Amino acid sequence: MLGNGFTRKKVGSLTLGEKLKKVRADYHVNLAEVARETGIRREHLEYLENGEYTKLPADVYVRGFLRSYARFLGVDANGLLRLYERERSIAKNLGKEPEKHPSAVVRRPRRFSAFVVTPRIVVGAVVAVAVLGIASYLYREYRMFVSEPYLVLLEPKNGETVKNDECSVVGKTDRDAKLFLNNEPALVGETGEFRERIRLQSGVNTVTIKVVNRFGKERTETVSVVAEYAIPQAEPVAESSPLPPVSPKLILSTSEEKPVSILIRVEGKEIYRGELAKGETKEFDCEKGCTVDSNSGRGTLASWNGGEIKPLSEKAGTVIGVPFEIEEQENVE
């Protein structure tokens, strides 16, 4: 029994600091971890758990500490706030706590809580990247559809002068575009670069570079190149001496299974008499022409002076004096 007439009773409930310590111990975390995750200074956490409220900042900051601490521990923040207010009220009534002016409180730097990666965040990030990629692809396709293809010509420069009969055409375009140099197709590299050489005539040359994308859009650039080089003079062709005349030839063969008899005359004189078997050919030089006798006009085949092979006659029987004459040609100077 106290002198003021009141009986002191021991309260079995935990104080705010004891409750904070107990919950923290149940989670097996220390004050350093709590400070890192909540952004509350460690000494302020120690003051809360030890009930040293006079060492804490103004109430508005302490209530913020308690809400962050409760959120980290997973307990009811309102319950902690009620405990804090009750204990502060008791301390003030007992005259153990002086009033604090808010201006005396030093503001703590704001810190951010740790970022936790969850499956939902991962899926959202993947979907966002996919959507961004599709949008980028569609935008690029749209630009290619409505605009001319890309073309940058590095060589040759317009009005450039070269000292030979060739020049390089170097530039860059869309990698899937078709390239034409003076209407002739040329190759485009995997990254859109191109490098070709074209022939030039002596004097001013016009070089036209055209690119066509897969949507049929065209872009053309034209430059002038001056080629200055000496054209080699053609050497005069020496007059060739006339070839000696070739004697006309008569070539005979046969289509008959049995040998045929033939007789060759030149100017009425006999030069050959004999037989001609199938698969056999005989040649005769006839400078002045000749005549042929055969016992098978249709079966005896003749080629005169490199001409077509034909039978001596359409008749199957004997033919006599089939002529082969030299055609006279006029001399052309």
Give tens-digit pLDDT for 129-177: 998 889 878 777 776 666 788 888 899 888 889 888 888 999 999 888 8
The confidence band for 40, taking pLDDT boundaries of 50, 70 and 90, is very high
- Please identify which residue in the block is written with the tokens 């890192």: 36
Fold category of 151-227 in CATH: Immunoglobulin-like (2.60.40)
Q: Give the model's pLDDT for residue 172.
A: 92
Written as one letter, the residue type at 217 is: K
pLDDT surpassing 80 at residue 186: yes
Average pLDDT taken over every residue of the chain:
81
- Please identify which residue in the block is written with the tokens 């052309």: 332
Mean pLDDT value of segment 187-208: 88
The confidence band for 209, taking pLDDT boundaries of 50, 70 and 90, is very high
pLDDT surpassing 90 at residue 228: no
Distance separating alpha carbons of residues 218 and 211, to the nearest angstrom? 6
Q: Give the model's pLDDT for residue 114.
A: 53
pLDDT surpassing 60 at residue 251: yes
Cβ neighbour number for residue 208 with a 10 Å cutoff: 13
Distance separating alpha carbons of residues 256 and 109, to the nearest angstrom? 123
CA distances for 34 relative to 47, 72, 140, 279, angstroms = 14, 8, 50, 116
Distance separating alpha carbons of residues 50 and 31, to the nearest angstrom? 13
The confidence band for 117, taking pLDDT boundaries of 50, 70 and 90, is confident
Domain range 16-102, its CATH number among 1.10.260.40, 1.10.10.10, 3.50.50.60, 1.10.287.70: 1.10.260.40
The confidence band for 305, taking pLDDT boundaries of 50, 70 and 90, is confident
What are 159's two structure tokens? 């009005």
pLDDT surpassing 90 at residue 208: yes
pLDDT surpassing 70 at residue 234: no
